């Protein structure tokens, strides 16, 4: 049981650090003349990462939904950066989106199986 708690806490720390990392992109996006769409999806990705980290850390009942929402935010960021604005290659954006969904599903399944353990 301690190993599972350690894994959950480690996942929460990684998601929280990722959220802070993405949040560091926000101040430069406020300076200059960036597309408002890229700012919106970047903020959404950072906020959902931190919310998912808190939910997994607390082993909340809504952690599953928070992790899936976090994956949706990553996918939306990749779609905006790739096909919509053309900032990155389309295949790279699609690949990152697919990997994000697969990893989120694996994390969600792990969180779901451990939500009953107190």
Quote the pLDDT of residue 80. Answer: 94
Count how many domains the chain has. Answer: 1
Quote the pLDDT of residue 35. Answer: 86
pTM over the 0.75 mark: yes
DSSP conformation class of 32: S
Quote the pLDDT of residue 3. Answer: 86
CA distances to 8, 25, 74, 90, 112 from 115, rounded to whole Å, are 10, 33, 24, 37, 5
Please state, rounded to an integer, the average pLDDT across all residues of the chain: 90
Domain that includes residue 24, residue range: 2-114
CA-based end-to-end distance of the chain: 9
Instruction: Dump pLDDT digits (tens) for 5-58.
Output: 899 999 999 999 999 999 999 999 999 788 899 999 999 999 999 999 999 999
């Amino acid at each position: 049981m301690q190993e599972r708690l350690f894994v959950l806490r480690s996942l929460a720390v990684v998601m929280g650090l990722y959220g802070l990392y993405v949040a560091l992109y926000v101040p430069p996006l406020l300076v200059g003349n960036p597309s408002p769409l890229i700012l919106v999806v970047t903020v959404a990705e950072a906020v959902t990462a931190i919310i998912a980290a808190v939910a997994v850390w607390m082993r909340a009942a809504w952690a599953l939904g928070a992790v899936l929402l976090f994956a949706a935010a990553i996918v939306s960021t990749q779609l905006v950066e790739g096909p919509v604005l053309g900032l990155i290659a389309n295949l790279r954006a699609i690949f990152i989106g697919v990997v994000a969904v697969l990893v989120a599903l694996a994390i969600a399944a792990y969180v779901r199986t451990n939500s009953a353990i107190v």
